[in-house]
C-alpha cells in the first residue's frame, strides 16, 4: 500500500516539488502579462483611438484554445515550459489591459490637477496617483488571471509532460491509480483558492482606504 | 519547414475530408458538445442570474460559488470524471457545464444589477409588473453584457472540449491528441488551426447576435 503522496519515479519530482513547479509555470506568465500590459494600457489611455483595436486583438488571442496555442508553439520553443508559459501570458492580457485602462481612466480630473499643482511630474503622478487608484481593478484582474492560469497549466501535460500537477493525470491513467488523479485535481484547486485568498489579502494591504470585508 | 506548410499539407490531403475521422464529422462533434454544454449552462445560469440581479440579493454567495467553480481545474475534473464514470457523455459534460456556468451566472447578475435605476423606476411607476420590468426593461438594457458572459462561456467550452480527446472523446481535439501520439505534426497543427478557427467563428457568431438582438437605443448609449 503506497503512502498518500508517493509519486511514480518517472515524474522525477516529489508532490511538493510539483506544487512549486505548478506555481512557477502558472504565475510567472501572469506577472509577465501584467508587465507587458502596463505600457500597452498607458498607450491606450493616451491615444484613445488605439483602445478598441487593442481590446479586439486581446479578445481574439484569448479565444485561441490553449492546446492549439501550445502545439503551434512547439515548432518554435519545443516541448518546454516556455511553450506553456507564453500562451498563459498572452491570455492574461485580455484581463489586464481593460482593468488598467478603465482603472487609470477612472481617476477624476480634479485629482490629476491637484497632483500636478503639487508639483508631480507625469511619471510620479502615474506611479503615485493613477496606479494606486487603479489597484483594486488590477488586483481583481490578477485574481482572475492567476486562477485560470493555475487551471490551464495542467493542459501542458499533453505536450510532453509540461503540466506540473497535471502530469499526475497521465500517471493516474497509465498506472491505473485514481489516487494520483485526485492528488492532481484537489491539489490544483487548493492552490487556486490559496492564491486567490493571498491576492485578496494583498488588496487589503495595498488599498488601506477601501472598506473592509468585501468578498468581491 | 514551418507551421504553415504543415497546415497546408493537412488541408490538401483529401483523406482528411471524409469518413469517421474526417473534418466534417469531427467539427460536428465539437459543435454538438459546445452547444449542449452552453445550452445547459445557459438554462442554469440565465434564470438564476436574472432573478438574483433583479432582486439584488445573493451577490456575495454567487461570487463565492463562481470563485470556487473557477478554481476547479476543468482538465483534471474531466480525467477524474472519466475514471469514475467511465465512457459516456457525462464525464465531458459535467466539467464543461461547471466551467461555463460561472461566467454566464455572474455576468448576468452584474448586468441586470447595473441597469440604470431611473428607467426601472419609471417602468414601475407606469404600473408594469415585476416580470414586465425584468423582461421588458432590465433584460434589453442588460443584453450586451449578458451576451458577453455567454460568449466567454462559449469560448472556454470550445477550448476545453478540445481536451476531451485525451479521455477518448471525439471533436477536433482528436487530431491534436492523436497527432501528438503518432508524432504526426501535420495532423497536430491541422487540428490546432481548425480549433482556433472554430473559436474565432464563435466570436463572430456572438458579434452578429449582438448586432441583431441588442436594440439600437441601447447600442448607441453603450
Q: Could you identify the residue written with the cell 511630474? A: A121
Could you tell me if A181 lies within 8 Å of chain B, comparing CB atoms?
Answer: yes
CA-based radius of gyration for chain A: 20
Find residues 149-178 of chain B whose CB sits inside 8 Å of chain A. 155, 158-160, 162-163, 166, 173, 176-177
Contact present, A23 and A191 (Cβ < 8 Å) = yes
- Predicted model pTM: 0.88
Q: How confident is the model at residue B130 (pLDDT cuts 50, 70, 90)?
A: confident
Is the pLDDT reported for residue B94 higher than 70? yes
pLDDT at A5: 81
Find residues 193-212 of chain A whose CB sits inside 8 Å of chain B. 193, 196
d(CA A188, CA A166): 8
pLDDT at A212: 65
Mean pLDDT of B48-57: 89
Is the CB of B76 less than 8 angstroms away from the CB of A60? no
Is the pLDDT reported for residue B212 higher than 80? yes
ipTM: 0.85
pLDDT at A146: 94
Q: How does the average pLDDT of chain B come out, rounded?
A: 88
Could you tell me if A166 lies within 8 Å of chain B, comparing CB atoms?
Answer: yes
Could you tell me if A192 lies within 8 Å of chain B, comparing CB atoms?
Answer: yes
Please report residues of A whose CB lies closer than 8 A to that of B67.
Answer: 147, 193, 196
pLDDT at B21: 83
d(CA B121, CA A152): 44
CB nearest to B63's CB, from A67, A184, A216: A216
pLDDT at B1: 59
pLDDT at A114: 92
Q: Tell me the three cell numbers of residue A136.
A: 483594486
Domain annotation for chain B: domains and CATH numbers: 3-221 (1.10.3720.10)
Q: How confident is the model at residue B18 (pLDDT cuts 50, 70, 90)?
A: confident
Along chain A (216 residues), what's the average pLDDT of each consecutive run of 10 residues? 78 90 95 95 91 92 90 87 93 93 88 91 88 88 92 91 90 90 94 93 86 57
DSSP assignment of A99-113 equals HHHHHHHTS-HHHHH
Handedness of CA A189, A192, A195, A196 (dihedral sign): negative
Task: Count CB atoms within 10 A of the CB of residue A145.
Answer: 28
pLDDT at A23: 94
Phi-psi region of A211 (alpha: psi -120 to 50; beta: other; left: phi over 0): beta
Domain annotation for chain A: domains and CATH numbers: 14-206 (1.10.3720.10)
Contact present, A156 and A162 (Cβ < 8 Å) = yes
pLDDT at A186: 94
User: Greater confidence, B170 or A27?
Assistant: A27
pLDDT at B67: 80
User: Greater confidence, B133 or B18?
Assistant: B133
pLDDT at A2: 64
- CA end-to-end distance (rounded Å), chain A: 44
Nearest to B109 by CA among B45, B43, B53, B51: B53
Please report residues of A whose CB lies closer than 8 A to that of B74.
Answer: 151
d(CA A90, CA A58): 8
User: Greater confidence, B220 or A187?
Assistant: A187
Amino acid at each position: 500500500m503506497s503512502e498518500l503522496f508517493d509519486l511514480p519515479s518517472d515524474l522525477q519530482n516529489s508532490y511538493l516539488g510539483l506544487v512549486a513547479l505548478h506555481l512557477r509555470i502558472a504565475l510567472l506568465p501572469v506577472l509577465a502579462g501584467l508587465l507587458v500590459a502596463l505600457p500597452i494600457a498607458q498607450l491606450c489611455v493616451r491615444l484613445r483611438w488605439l483602445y478598441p483595436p487593442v481590446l479586439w486583438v486581446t479578445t481574439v488571442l484569448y479565444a485561441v484554445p490553449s492546446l492549439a496555442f501550445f502545439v503551434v508553439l512547439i515548432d518554435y520553443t519545443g516541448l518546454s515550459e516556455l511553450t506553456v508559459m507564453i500562451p498563459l501570458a498572452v491570455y492574461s492580457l485580455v484581463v489586464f489591459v481593460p482593468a488598467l485602462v478603465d482603472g487609470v481612466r477612472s481617476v477624476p480630473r480634479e485629482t490629476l490637477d491637484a497632483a500636478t499643482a503639487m508639483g508631480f511630474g507625469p511619471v510620479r503622478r502615474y506611479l503615485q496617483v493613477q496606479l494606486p487608484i487603479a489597484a483594486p481593478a488590477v488586483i481583481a484582474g490578477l485574481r482572475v488571471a492567476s486562477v485560470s492560469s493555475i487551471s490551464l497549466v495542467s493542459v501542458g501535460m499533453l505536450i510532453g509532460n509540461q503540466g506540473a500537477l497535471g502530469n499526475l493525470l497521465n500517471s493516474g491513467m497509465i498506472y491505473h491509480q485514481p489516487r494520483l488523479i485526485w492528488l492532481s485535481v484537489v491539489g490544483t484547486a487548493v492552490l487556486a483558492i490559496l492564491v486567490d485568498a493571498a491576492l485578496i489579502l494583498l488588496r487589503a494591504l495595498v488599498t488601506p482606504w477601501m472598506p473592509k470585508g468585501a468578498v468581491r | 519547414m514551418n507551421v504553415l506548410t504543415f497546415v497546408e499539407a493537412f488541408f490538401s490531403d483529401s483523406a482528411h475530408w471524409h469518413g469517421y475521422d474526417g473534418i466534417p464529422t469531427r467539427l460536428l462533434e465539437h459543435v454538438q458538445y459546445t452547444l449542449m454544454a452552453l445550452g445547459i449552462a445557459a438554462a442554469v445560469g440565465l434564470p438564476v442570474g436574472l432573478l438574483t440581479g433583479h432582486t439584488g440579493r445573493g451577490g456575495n454567495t454567487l461570487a463565492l460559488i463562481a470563485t470556487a467553480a473557477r478554481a476547479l481545474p476543468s482538465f483534471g475534473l474531466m480525467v477524474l470524471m472519466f475514471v469514475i464514470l467511465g465512457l459516456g457523455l457525462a464525464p465531458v459534460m459535467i466539467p464543461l457545464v461547471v466551467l461555463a456556468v460561472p461566467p454566464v451566472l455572474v455576468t448576468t447578475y452584474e448586468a441586470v444589477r447595473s441597469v440604470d435605476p431611473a428607467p426601472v423606476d419609471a417602468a414601475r411607476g407606469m404600473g408594469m409588473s415585476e416580470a414586465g420590468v425584468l423582461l421588458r426593461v432590465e433584460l434589453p438594457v442588460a443584453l450586451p453584457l449578458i451576451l458577453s458572459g455567454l460568449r466567454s462561456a462559449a469560448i472556454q467550452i470550445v477550448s476545453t472540449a478540445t481536451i476531451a480527446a485525451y479521455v477518448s472523446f471525439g471533436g477536433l481535439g482528436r487530431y491534436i491528441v492523436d497527432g501528438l501520439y503518432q508524432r504526426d505534426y501535420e495532423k497536430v497543427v491541422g487540428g490546432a488551426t481548425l480549433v482556433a478557427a472554430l473559436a474565432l467563428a464563435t466570436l463572430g457568431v456572438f458579434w452578429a447576435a449582438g448586432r441583431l438582438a441588442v436594440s439600437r437605443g441601447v447600442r448607441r448609449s453603450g
